[in-house]
């Protein structure tokens, strides 16, 4: 038995300052919290809940975890991280109590710089995670022969 929540098209990225999109971000974060609560209410322990996101979804999943630090099943963040403009200091309380987390990214993502992904992994490490964050890999685009 499994449950999934899909949050997309929120037009968010880690480097942007929130203004007119703040309402959408807050709504997406509320939906993530509601889904987590419903999953827990159905009898699935929080320790078995894994959040996974790509790009904007990874940003939302990471931010949700930072704001609700506890022992979860895990976080998988592909090309995403904590939300805020350059220079943001994330000083959230709580502990992840060893929650495993994976942060991965390319070295040329215009919306989610590799430095932000590393910063996010560092914040989570300080909050008690078991983080895997491999070095960013060069971006490679592979096209079928007929497309060239």
Q: Would you call 121 helix, strand, or coil by DSSP?
A: helix
* For the ranges 32-36, 122-126, 129-133, the one whose mean pLDDT is highest: 122-126
Asked whether the predicted pLDDT for residue 20 surpasses 70, the reply is no
Predicted local distance difference test score (pLDDT) of residue 145: 59
CA 121/CA 118 separation, integer angstroms: 5
How would residue 15 be classed by pLDDT, with cut points 50, 70 and 90? very low
Q: Which one, of 57, 65, 2, 9, lies nearest residue 33 by Cα?
A: 65
pTM over 0.85: no
- Give per-residue burial for 20-35: e unless 16+ CB within 10 Å, then b: eeeeebeebbebbeeb
CA 83 to chain centre: 9
Asked whether the predicted pLDDT for residue 17 surpasses 50, the reply is no
């Amino acid at each position: 038995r499994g449950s999934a929540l899909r949050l997309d098209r929120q037009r968010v990225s880690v480097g942007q300052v929130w203004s007119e999109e703040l309402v959408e971000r807050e709504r997406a974060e509320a939906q993530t919290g509601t889904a987590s609560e419903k999953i827990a209410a159905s009898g699935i322990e929080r320790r078995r809940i894994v959040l996974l996101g790509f790009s904007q979804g990874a940003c939302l999943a990471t931010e949700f975890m930072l704001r609700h630090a506890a022992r979860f099943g895990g976080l998988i963040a592909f090309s995403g991280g904590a939300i805020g403009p350059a220079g943001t200091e994330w000083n959230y309380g709580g502990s992840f109590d060893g929650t495993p987390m994976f942060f991965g990214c390319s070295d040329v993502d215009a919306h989610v710089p590799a430095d932000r992904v590393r910063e996010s992994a560092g914040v989570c490490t300080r909050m008690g995670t078991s983080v895997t964050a491999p070095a960013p890999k060069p971006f490679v685009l592979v096209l079928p022969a007929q497309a060239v």
